[in-house]
Amino acid sequence: AIQLTQSPSSLSASVGDRVTITCRASQGISSALAWYQQKPGKAPKLLIYDASSLESGVPSRFSGSGSGTDFTLTISSLQPEDFATYYCQQFNSYVTFGQGTKLEIK
């Protein structure tokens, strides 16, 4: 099974900061990667699909990049509503999620 490792597991940042979260796959997955945001008590929300495509309605401060085994999610200027947990997901071979990155207010 393909494993996804996110780093860091947690992150403290301030409003206005630029933040990058990394997701590494245990084997190549082409661009079959998505990023989700989850807030406490809520369902996950799709942000990025196919590694770098922005889901409709998602603010342009979110961006994704990478292919093969190494991927990043970048938030260009953190807003108060962005503090949440972020998950990467691969769908190249069945489905796997990363362990999550909790983004907290500094």
Partner 1 sequence: QVQLVESGGGVVQPGGSLRLSCAASGFTFSSYGMHWVRQAPGKGLEWVAFIRYDGSNKYYADSVKGRFTISRDNSKNTLYLQMNSLRAEDTAVYYCAKDSIVGANGVHAFDIWGQGTMVTVSS
Longest dimension (CA), the chain: 38
To the nearest whole angstrom, how small is the minimum distance from the Cβ of residue 53 to partner 1?
9
Out of 10, 30, 59, 95, the residue judged to bind partner 1 by CB under 8 A = 95
- Site size for partner 1 (CB under 8 A): 23
**Distances from the Cα of 1 to the Cα of 37, 94, 99, angstroms:** 24, 8, 15
Comparison of 16 and 94: residue with beta carbon closer to partner 1: 94
Q: Which of residues 27-66 bind partner 1 (CB under 8 A)?
A: 32, 34, 36, 38, 42-46, 49-50, 55
Q: Which of 94, 92, 96, 95 is nearest to 29 (CA)?
A: 92
